[in-house]
Structure 1
């Protein structure tokens, strides 16, 4: 059985905060060709993060598979019945925390998607998001890549709630589209999480810049979760998993090596920024607007 894009109801504009702080962990994994080893490493880091007090753990894009169009078919599995999903569900339940499962190549019928799954503290599938904007670029003498040769795009926005905090999902190239972030913010999000794998051309130029832009534009927390860098891979990830606060300041970042960024998300900071710089009430929606179709 394969599931369609998770459909979520429209939320009220104001975030729900049941507590003022949530401890999160952004896990930058080393990813190789051994799928079972990749999954086992992710499960280990979920439990390690729990031991350090994390309430929510986020994994990187394509954490169970090398990133590349030639790998997606080979590593693809159904959601939620595949081996990676079963392992994430079990780990989330055993640790009693929310797991944002990076992304996996998803097979649904004869279609392939780049899909993020979210599991609550009981191991239940809480949300599912299929990458909406596929990475099709051509930078002469630098990089040419076309995900659409293999993948289909998702067509649903995904926002979920965990412990009273509304969280929105994007995947890598989605970060470049501010309209998506704006809609998720309008639905009440306090945190946006983007599993991603920017490369050695786009990473140095735009990874942190775009993260800070989305956080500043929307006055919320934004987390980017990358695989660790493997210089021998066909596609070399930038790494540098990053967390930015609602002021647009970098609250934490990693280098290119495997590691985990653990940080407290101060939800009161969102209200502080939005009250001092009240752009949400000053938008000229009588002249322009961003809508979800």
Structure 2
């Protein structure tokens, strides 16, 4: 399964961002990509005061563009995330489209990013955003795949639930910052991959040092052994990674972590 990690710059102009994303998707399709992944808030500056003005309701312009392009290109598109407007609320939402352009998954970020690190970053998504309440997996010809957004990755239970549903690859559109990124980005992706013995794909916006919120970049793929298969730096780029999904079964056979769980003593239960 060829994946394309689109680490794009995000500008103040929403239409420019959508056009840039579409251009990158076309470039990815020309490289025989099966699944292309955009970053968190790919069409909106990562600032609380932008989320509602940049938001869109069901079938809004960004969603329509991604759906149409997925169908035209015959490629799965994991649409990073965008501000979704619904019943007076704003959600940080990722949409997934299949090769026919049909929406096959929708994940609203479950864990909102409310942090205040001494000497580092302070940000409160809950000032503007509402949390989702669903675990998100979806079926493809490659098997079951999973999806979460940024801060969701820090909560092992969510990844484990996707794993127990059969997810062999988990996509994570994310925008770690220059405080949390250097400290935890690679560490978290490698550990979640080892814990759940599946592939993890993390896609960040490119780094913009002039922005009020500076994304870390460093989009990457980790395999079920915890090996980093590819990793960007901070610049705008597309990474490609061919995922050998038989690696999931091989690693699980070598290290029976999932099958050796003591569910008589502890259990992670799906909602």
**TM-score tier after normalising by the smaller chain length:** over 0.9
> Of 180, 186, 192, which aligns to 1:202?
180
- 5 Å-filtered alignment, 1:86-165, equals 86-165=64-143
Q: SS where residue 49 of structure 1 aligns? A: helix
Is the contact between residue 118 and residue 125 of structure 1 (CA under 8 Å) also seen in structure 2? Answer: yes
- 5 Å-filtered alignment, 1:207-286, equals 207-286=185-264
Is the contact between residue 191 and residue 221 of structure 1 (CA under 8 Å) also seen in structure 2? Answer: yes
Find the counterpart in structure 1 of residue 157 from structure 2. Answer: 179
> How far off its partner does 1:166 sit?
1.0
Q: SS where residue 148 of structure 1 aligns? A: helix
Find the counterpart in structure 1 of residue 26 from structure 2. Answer: 47
Q: Structure 2 CA distance, aligned partners of 1:76 and 1:176?
A: 25
1:179-220 per-position Cα deviation (integer Å, ceiling 9, x unaligned): 000000000000000000000000000000000010000000
> Of 31, 50, 53, which aligns to 1:71?
50
Q: SS where residue 279 of structure 1 aligns? A: coil
Q: SS where residue 234 of structure 1 aligns? A: coil
TM-score by length of 1: 0.92
Gaps of 5+ in 1: 1-21
> How far off its partner does 1:280 sit?
1.4
Q: Structure 2 CA distance, aligned partners of 1:141 and 1:207?
A: 19
Q: SS where residue 75 of structure 1 aligns? A: coil
Runs of at least 4 residues of structure 1 off by over 6 A? Answer: none
Q: Which has the higher relative contact order, 1 or 2, with Cα contacts under 8 A spaced 6 or more apart?
A: 1
1:235-284 per-position Cα deviation (integer Å, ceiling 9, x unaligned): 00000000000100000010100001101010111111000101111111
> How far off its partner does 1:68 sit?
1.1
Q: Structure 1 CA distance, aligned partners of 2:258 and 2:127?
A: 39
Q: Structure 2 CA distance, aligned partners of 1:281 and 1:88?
A: 38
> How far off its partner does 1:143 sit?
1.4
Find the counterpart in structure 2 of residue 56 from structure 1. Answer: 35
Q: SS where residue 208 of structure 1 aligns? A: helix
Q: Structure 1 CA distance, aligned partners of 2:143 and 2:19?
A: 28
Is the contact between residue 160 and residue 166 of structure 1 (CA under 8 Å) also seen in structure 2? Answer: yes
> How far off its partner does 1:164 sit?
3.4
> How far off its partner does 1:292 sit?
1.4
RMSD over aligned Cα, in angstroms?
0.7
1:106-136 per-position Cα deviation (integer Å, ceiling 9, x unaligned): 0002100000000011111111000000000
Q: Structure 1 CA distance, aligned partners of 2:260 and 2:97?
A: 37
